[in-house]
Structure formats: structure tokens, C-alpha cells
Amino acid sequence: MPVAQKARRETNEADEQVMGRRRLLTWLSGFGLFGSAILSAFSNFVFIKPRATYGPPTRFAIGKPDEFPPGTRISLDVRRVCVVRDGSKLAAISTTCTHLGCIVGVSDTGFACPCHGSRFDQDGNVTGGPAPKPLPWFKVSLKPNGDLEVDKGIEVPPGTYYNV
């Protein structure tokens, strides 16, 4: 075999090795870019997905009817309702001010908003202040296990009591 042919053959083998390295680096670079694109798309999806909390449930148990003696007005601040018992009738009135959503307190004359001065009577009707409408009343029912249940998802007309 002539020397020139031998030299060309060695050069071709060297080129094939260089091409092998180039292919490997090209493949690794492509794999890295593809992997980072997938990771970026996944992280964007996780970032965009809303992490909404939908708040507490609208239906909750408040206890047995015997826990509310006649004539009581008990404010459950965590649930934002006031349980009123008048004789054998029971009602749940919201303690969220209809003006800006403050928690109203139970007073001798009804309800009072400590934030902006709204006043409500015993039935939640506006008697003064900036509140635009009366406090809503919620449905009260008896669960099969004997507990009373308030459903804040269902408003009832003011003056609607549940007979115990």
C-alpha cells in the first residue's frame, strides 16, 4: 500500500473519531437543552397552577340543642355566626358586617361593628352607620345524630327560626 493512501486512511480514521466526538457532544448538548426545556415547562406549569383555598365549609355543626338554653345569644366568632335561641326556636345570624366584612360583636341592643360604627338590632336590621343592608340569616337544621347544623350557603328570610 502506498504511503499516500496509508496517510489518507489514517486521516479518515482520525476524522471518524473527531466526528464521533462531535456527534457525542452534539447529542449531549441536545439532550441537555431538551431536558432543560422539559424542566422549564414543568416548573412554569406548577407556578401557573392556582393554589386556591376555597375556605372553610359552609355547613358545620354547632352542637346539641340543649347546649343553647332559651334566651341565649352566643357568638361563634370563628364561624362568624351568632346563635340565637328564643324559647323553642333557634336561628343563626351572620356576624359579618355588610359594610366591609368586619366581625360585629354582640351588644345589649343587638350587634355593633367595632370598625366603622354600624349598628344592628336584635334581628340584624341596620339601625345606624354605613352598613347598606341587614345581617343575613342562615338555615339551621337538625342532623341525624342530634346535632344542630348551620348552612351558611343557604340564606333564609330574617325572622326564620328552626323549631327545636
Percent of the chain with pLDDT over 70: 87
| Number of other residues whose CB lies within 10 A of the CB of residue 96 | 16
Residue 119's Cβ-side half-sphere holds a number of Cα atoms within 13 Å equal to 7
In this model, does residue 14 exceed pLDDT 60?
Answer: no
The domain segmentation of the chain, as residue ranges, is 1-52, 59-163
In this model, does residue 149 exceed pLDDT 80?
Answer: yes
CA dihedral 15, 18, 19, 22 (to 10 degrees): -160
Mean per-residue pLDDT for 40-51? Answer: 82
Do residues 96 and 109 touch, judged by C-beta distance below 8 A? no
Compute the distance between CA of residue 81 and CA of residue 137 in angstroms, rounded to an integer. 9
Provide the whole-model pTM: 0.64
Query: Do the bridges between strand 89-94 and strand 105-106 make them parallel or antiparallel, or are there none, so unpaired?
Result: unpaired
Q: Which amino acid belongs to residue 89?
A: K
pLDDT in tens, 53-76: 676 678 888 888 888 888 888 888
pLDDT of residue 138: 93
Percent of the chain with pLDDT over 90: 13
Q: The domain 59-163 belongs to what CATH superfamily?
A: Rieske [2Fe-2S] iron-sulphur domain (2.102.10.10)
pLDDT in tens, 86-138: 888 899 999 988 888 888 888 888 888 888 888 998 888 898 889 889 999 99
Q: Where are the beta strands (DSSP E) in the chain?
A: 59-63, 73-76, 81-86, 89-94, 105-106, 111-112, 119-120, 126-128, 137-142, 148-156, 162-163
Q: What is the CA radius of gyration of the chain?
A: 36
